Chains A and B, each alone.
Chain A
Amino acid sequence: MEAAAVPIGHGHGHAHGHDAPGHDHHGHEHHGPPPANKSSRVDAPMLGMLLFIISEVMVFGAFFTAYFFIRIVQGQEWPAEGDHLPKLIAGINTLILVSSSFTLHWAEVSIKENNRRGLQAGIASTFLLGATFLFIQINEYVNIGFAPQDHAQGTIFYGLTGLHGAHVLIGLLALLTVTIRAFRGHFSAHDHRGIEIPGIYWHFVDVMWIVVYLTVYII
C-alpha cells in the first residue's frame, strides 16, 4: 500500500548498542529497519534461552532413555559388580554446584541495586564454584576404578555425567564472559539481561545435576 515507498530516514534508535565512539555515520548511507512490534510481554532472548533449554532437556532425555534401557529393560546390575560409586563426594559436589546458584542469584540482585562490588563478587564466586565442581568431577573419573569401555553401566555413567560436565563447561564459558564484562564495567541496574540469560542456563545446569545425581548415584 502506501508503505514501501520512500526509504525512511536515519535516527532509528536501536535497543542494542548504546554508545558509538568513533562510529562512522556519514561515510555511507544506511538506515535501520523499522522497530518491530512487540507482540508478547516475553523478552525475545529470554524466550530463546528457554526454548534452547527445552531442547537441552530432550538431549538429557535421550541419555536417560539409554540409562533406562540398560538398567531397567536389560535389568543390568547397578552399579556393575565390583564397582562403587562415591555417593558422599558426589553429594558434597552437589552442594557446591547448588550453592553456585545462590551466589549467582546474589550477583543478579546486587546489580539490580547498582551494587557493582556485589555483582563482581557474586559472579566470580559462581565461576569458581562451578570450576571446583568440574575439577572434583574429573578427579572422580580418575579415581573411580572403571572405564566406559568396561561395560554398559560404565558407558551410561560416563555418558550422563560427561554430558552434564560438558554443559557445566559451556555454562562456565558463558559465566566467564559475564565475569569479564562485569569487571570491565558493563551492566547496570537497568541493563542486566546479559547476566540473567546465561544465569537461567546455569540454574538449568544445576537442576539437571540434581536429577543426574539422584538417578545415577542414589537410586
Chain B
Amino acid sequence: MAAKLRAPGLLRAGVLTLVGIAFAAILDLTVRAATNAEPLVNGEAITLVALLAAPFFFLGGLGAFDEWLYWASGKPSRPEDHSGHGATSWKDYFRVNTDHKVIGVQYVVTSFFFMLVGGLLAMLVRAELAAPGAQFVDPNTYNGLFSVHASLMIFLFIIPVFAGMANYVLPLMIGAPDMAFPRLNALSFWMLPIAGVMMTLSFFAPGGSFATGWTAYAPLSTEVPMGQMFFTIGVQFAGASSIATALNFLVTIITMRAPGMSFWRMPLLVWANFATSLLVVIATPFVAASQLFVLLDYALGFNFFNVERGGDVLMYQHVFWFYSHPAVYIMMLPGFGIISEVLAVKSRKPIFGYRMMAFSLLAIVLLGFTVWAHHMFVSGMQPWIRVPMMITTAIIAVPTGIKIFSWLATIWRGVLHLDTPMLWSLGFITMFVLGGISGVMLAIIPIDIHVSDTYFVVAHIHYVLYGGSVFTIFAGIYYWFPKMTGRMFDERLGKVHFWMTFVSFNLTFAPMHLIGVQGMPRRVADYTEQFAGWNMFISLASFLLGLSTLVFVYNVVASWRGGTRAEANPWRAMTLEWQVSSPPPIFNFDAVPTVVGGPYEYGVPGAVHGVFRPAGQPDPHAKEPAGASARADAAGATHHGGTET
C-alpha cells in the first residue's frame, strides 16, 4: 500500500488533492489570523484558495512534475527509458503518458465526455424553453445551465478536441517520432479535466453555478455568488493547457519536420494548426488576464472594474474580446485543415490553390486581431471605433471566402466518395456558408444593433460553431477513427448519424433566425406567447439532435470494441500518417521518412509524397502512390494500445 501511494498515479493524486485542500485551509486560516480578519473561518475563502492550490497537488500526485523536480534537485541526468510511452491497457490512459498518440486519445475522449455533459445541459435549456413561463427551473438556475453549457462546449470540447486530433496525427503527418516536448504535452492534457471538473462542480457551489454566460462580463461577474470563481479559475487551467499545447505544436512543426518537407509541402492540417497555435500563443494570455482581473476584484477587493473608485468596466470587454474574437478562429481554423484533408482524399483531386489556402489561414490570423470590438457595438464604447471594426470584419470574410471557393473547386469534377467523412465535410461547407453570411450581417452596425442579444445571435453562433466546427470535428473523427483505433466504424450508422444531425440541426437552429429578428431575447428563461409555437418546435427538434449524438456514441463504442480491423490506408491517402500501420507503431516510424512531393497529388501519375528510405536511392514503387503497399508491411509492426478491451 505504501509503495502504491508513493508511485505516481491516480491514487497518489487523490491523496495529494486532499492534502492540497488541507494546505489551502491552513494557509487561509494563518493569513486570516495574522491579519485579524473577521470571521476567522471563511468557507468561501478556503474554497477559493483550494481551487487554486489543489490542482497543482493533483498534478504533482499524478506525476506530472516528477521529472522536472528531479532535474531541479540537481541529481545526475537520467536517460529517457520511454517507459512513459505507449499504452498496453486502458489503465495507461489514466496516467501521465508522454506518447502523443495516447495523449491524443486522452484529449479526444475527455473532450467528448464534456461534450455529452454540455449537450445534456443544452437539453435542459431547451426543455425549460419548450413553453412560455417557468417549467422546472428558476431563472437563476436557467442562467447557470446555458452558461455552463457554453463554457464546457467552448473550453472543454471544441478547443481541446482539435488539439487532441492534431496531437494524434500532426507528428505522424510531418514525420516526427513525437511532439517536441512530450512531458509538457502530458501536463497540457491533465490540466484539461481539472478545468472541466471545476466548471461542472460549480453547480454545487453555494448560490449555484456561474450564471453570467461564458463571457462573464464584469462587474456582474465580480458581484455574484462564488460559483463564478469556478469559471474564473477553471479558465486559467484550460487556457494554460491550450497555450502549452500551442507552443508545443509550433516548436514541433518548425523543428521536427521530415527531410524534404518544406513549409510548402506540409499538409493543410499542419498549416491550420500552425496558424491556430500562433493565435493561441498570442491571444489566450488576454483571457487569462481578464479572468485574473475578475479574481482580484472578487477575492481581494481590487478596483479594476469598480467605477466608484476609478475602474473601467468596458476594459473587461476589450480585453476579453481581444482574446475571444481570435478564439472563434481558434475554434475554426483546425476544422478548415480537417476539411482540406478529407475533401482532397475523397474527391481524388489535388487541393485547389494550396498556397492560397495557407496564405488565407495566415491572413485570418492577422485580421483576427483587428475585429474584436464588433462584439461591442451596443456596449457604449466610443462610437468612432464602430465603423473601422465593421470594415475589418467585412474584410476578414474574404480569406474565408477564398477557402470556401478553393474547396468547391477541389471537389469540382472530382471522383466523389460520398462516405461518412465526406458527408460531414460537405455538410460543413453548406452550414458554414450560412453561418458566415449571418456573420457578415451581424458585422453591419444597424443590423447588429437591431438583433443584439436576440436569438439571431444564438442561431449565428450555432451555425458557425455547430454547423461549422462540430461538423468538421465529426468529419475528422470519422476520417481518422481507423488510424486512431485500428478499427473501422460502422459506415451505415455513420450516415444515419450525419443525416439525423444535419436535418435536426437545421430544424433546431434555422427558426432561431426568425424569432431572433422578431425580437426574442437570448439568455432569458421566459418569453412572450408570440414565440410559443416556434419554441416548442425548436425544443422537439433539439431533442432529436441530442438523440443523433447517441447514435454516434454507440457507433464509436461498438466499433472500437468489435469493428473490423482497419487497414493501414483505407482511404488511399498520401499523407504520411496513412503510410504506417493502424494504429501506428509505438514510435511512429522505424526511420523518419523522406518527403519528395506535395501532400495532395491525387490523380497525378507517378506522384509520391513520402518515401521510407533515404532520398536518392532507387524506388521500385515510384509509379504507385506512396503507401499502397503499407498494409502488408505493417502487419508485423509494433502495435500499441487502443484496441484492448
A residues sitting closer than 8 Å to B (CB atoms) are 1-8, 14, 16-21, 23, 30-40, 42-45, 47-48, 51-52, 54-56, 58-59, 61-63, 65-66, 69-70, 73-74, 76, 80, 148-156, 158-159, 176-177, 180-181, 183-184, 186
Q: Chain B residues with Cβ under 8 A from A51's Cβ?
A: 247, 250-251, 281
Question: How far does the alpha carbon of A149 sit from the alpha carbon of B300 in the complex, in Å?
Answer: 8
B319 and A66 contacting across the interface, CB-CB below 8 Å: yes
27 inter-chain pairs at a CB distance below 8 angstroms, sorted by A residue, are A1-B611, A1-B612, A1-B621, A3-B593, A4-B579, A4-B584, A4-B612, A4-B633, A4-B634, A5-B633, A7-B585, A14-B80, A30-B82, A36-B592, A37-B259, A38-B256, A40-B254, A42-B254, A44-B251, A47-B254, A51-B251, A62-B322, A70-B315, A150-B309, A153-B310, A155-B302, A180-B72
One of B12-20, B172-180, B340-348, B416-424 at the interface: B172-180
A32, A37, A44, A158, most chain B CB atoms within 10 A: A37
Q: Is B275 an interface residue (CB 8 A)?
A: no
Q: Which residues of A contact B81 (CB under 8 A)?
A: 23, 30
Interchain CB contact under 8 A, A73 and B637: no
Residue from A17, A34, A58, A159 within 8 A of B296 (CB atoms): A159
Complex Cα–Cα for A51 and B73 (A):
26
Write the nearest CB–CB distance from A52 to chain B, whole angstroms: 6
Give the complex CA separation of A130 and B580 in angstroms.
51
B312 — nearest CB in chain A belongs to which residue? A69
Q: Which of A5, A23, A52 has the most CB of B within 10 A?
A: A5
Inter-chain contact B281/A33, CB cutoff 8 Å: no
Q: Give the residues in chain A near B319, CB-CB below 8 Å.
A: 62, 65-66
In the assembly, what is the distance between CA of A39 and CA of B636, in Å?
30
Contacts of A30 in B (CB 8 A): 81-83
Is B224 in the interface zone, CB < 8 Å from A? Answer: no
Given pairs A2-B612, A4-B589, A148-B302, 4 additional interface contacts (CB within 8 A): A4-B590, A63-B289, A149-B300, A177-B71
Could you say which of A17, A42, A154 contacts B255, with CB atoms under 8 Å apart? Answer: A42
CB distance from B534 to the nearest CB of A (A): 41
Q: Are A18 and B77 in contact (CB under 8 A)?
A: yes
Report whether B591 and A7 are in contact in the complex, using a CB–CB cutoff of 8 Å: no
Complex interface: chain A residues within 8 A of B579 (CB): 1, 3-4
- Residue B181 is within 8 A (CB to CB) of chain A in the complex: yes
A19→B303 contact, CB < 8 A: no
CB-CB under 8 A for A7 and B282, given A39-B261, A55-B247, A65-B315: no
Q: State the Cβ distance, B617 to closest chain A Cβ, in Å.
A: 11
A112 to B570, CA, bound (A): 53
Choose among B258, B303, B318, B626 the residue that contacts A154 (Cβ–Cβ < 8 A). B303
CB proximity of A129 to chain B, nearest CB, Å: 21
A150 to B: closest C-beta gap in Å: 7
Tell me if B602 is interfacial: C-beta within 8 Å of chain A.
Answer: no
Q: Lowest 3 CB-CB distances: which A-B pairs, in order?
A: A17-B79, A62-B289, A152-B310
Query: Across the interface, do B78 and A20 meet the contact criterion of CB distance under 8 Å?
Result: yes
Find out whether the CB atom of B77 lies under 8 angstroms from the CB atom of A17: yes
Separation in Å of the A210 CB from the closest CB of chain B? 20
Distance in angstroms from A24 CB to nearest chain B CB is: 8
Interface string of B475-502 (1 = CB under 8 A from A): 0000000000000000000000000000
Would you call A3 and B79 a contact (CB within 8 A)?
no
**Closest beta carbon of chain B to A153's beta carbon, Å:** 7
Q: Which of B72, B315, B590 has a CB less than 8 Å from the CB of A177?
A: B72
Write the nearest CB–CB distance from A146 to chain B, whole angstroms.
Answer: 12
Partner of A74, one of B178, B180, B312, B568: B312
Cβ contact within 8 Å between A149 and B256 = no
CB distance from A154 to the nearest CB of B (A): 7
Q: Which residues of A contact B589 (CB under 8 A)?
A: 3-4, 33-34
Residue in B closest to A68 when the chains form the complex, CB atoms: B315
Cβ–Cβ contact A34 & B255, under 8 A: no
Chain B, residues 291-321, CB within 8 Å of chain A (1/0): the string is: 0010010001111101001111011001100
Binding site secondary structure of chain B = loop
- Min distance, Cβ B330 to any Cβ of chain A, angstroms: 14
**Docked-complex contact A149 and B78, CB < 8 angstroms:** no
Evaluate whether A33 and B318 lie within 8 angstroms (CB atoms) in the complex, with A17-B79, A180-B72 already known: no
| A151 lies within 8 A of B303 (CB) | yes
The minimal Cβ–Cβ distance linking B359 to chain A, given in whole angstroms, is 21
* B283 at the binding interface (Cβ < 8 Å): yes
Q: B587 an interface residue at 8 Å Cβ cutoff?
A: yes
Please, how many angstroms separate the alpha-carbon atoms of A36 and B300 in the complex?
49
| Set B178, B284, B638: member contacting A55, Cβ < 8 A | B284
Q: Nearest CB to that of A182 among chain B residues?
A: B74
Inter-subunit contact A3/B296 (CB<8 Å): no
Among the listed B257, B293, B585, which residue makes an inter-chain contact with A4, where contact means beta carbons less than 8 Å apart?
Answer: B585
A80→B178 CA distance, assembly (Å): 54
How far, in angstroms, from A117 to B319 measured CA to CA in the complex?
Answer: 47
B561 at the interface (CB under 8 A from A): no
**CB-based contact B82/A33 at 8 Å:** yes
Cross-chain contact A47 with B256 (CB below 8 angstroms):
no
Q: List the B side residues contacting A18 at CB < 8 Å.
A: 77, 79
Q: Given the known inter-chain contacts A4-B630, A37-B175, please indicate yes or no for A66 contacting B304, CB distance below 8 A.
A: yes
Residue from the list A6, A23, A156 in contact with B79, Cβ < 8 A:
A23
Task: Judge if B170 is at the interface, Cβ distance under 8 Å.
Answer: no
**A16-B79, A66-B293, A74-B310 given; A3·B590 CB < 8 A:** yes
Bound CA span A16–B530, Å = 69
* Shortest Cβ distance from residue A45 to the other chain B in the assembled complex, whole angstroms: 8
Question: A21 to chain B: which residues have CB within 8 Å?
Answer: 76
Nearest CB in chain A to that of B277: its residue: A51
A66 to B291, CA, bound (A): 13
Find out whether the CB atom of A40 lies under 8 angstroms from the CB atom of B255: yes
Of A2, A39, A56, which one neighbours B256 at CB under 8 angstroms? A39
- Is B290 in contact with chain A by the CB < 8 A criterion? yes
B580:A4 contact, CB within 8 angstroms: yes
Whether B311 contacts A33 by the Cβ 8 Å rule is no
A8/B310 in contact, CB under 8 A:
no
The answer to whether A38 and B634 touch (CB under 8 A), given A51-B247, A155-B303, A155-B311, is no
B180 / chain A contacts, CB cutoff of 8 Å: 44, 48
Contacts of A65 in B (CB 8 A): 315, 318-319, 322
Nearest chain A CB to B170 CB, angstrom units: 13
**In the complex, how many angstroms separate the beta carbon of A108 from the nearest chain B beta carbon?**
18
Cα–Cα distance between A33 and B184 once the two chains are bound (Å):
18
Q: Is B74 touching A149 in the complex (CB atoms < 8 A)?
A: no
B633 touches A181 (CB 8 A): no
Residues of A within 8 A of B60 (CB): none
- Using an 8 Å CB-CB cutoff, how does the interface string of B596-637 with A read, 1 for contact, 0 for none? 000000000000000111000000010000110110011011
> Is B581 in contact with chain A by the CB < 8 A criterion?
yes
B630 to chain A, nearest CB (A): 6
In the bound complex, what is the Cα–Cα distance between A18 and B398 (angstroms)?
53
B255 touches A39 (CB 8 A): yes
Contacts of A156 in B (CB 8 A): 304
Contact check, B312 vs A73: say whether CB atoms are below 8 A apart.
yes
Closest to A183 in B: B74
Q: In this assembly, does B123 line the interface, its C-beta being within 8 Å of a C-beta of chain A?
A: no
Shortest distance in angstroms between B382's beta carbon and chain A's nearest beta carbon?
8
How near does chain B come to A110, taking the closest CB pair, in angstroms? Answer: 18
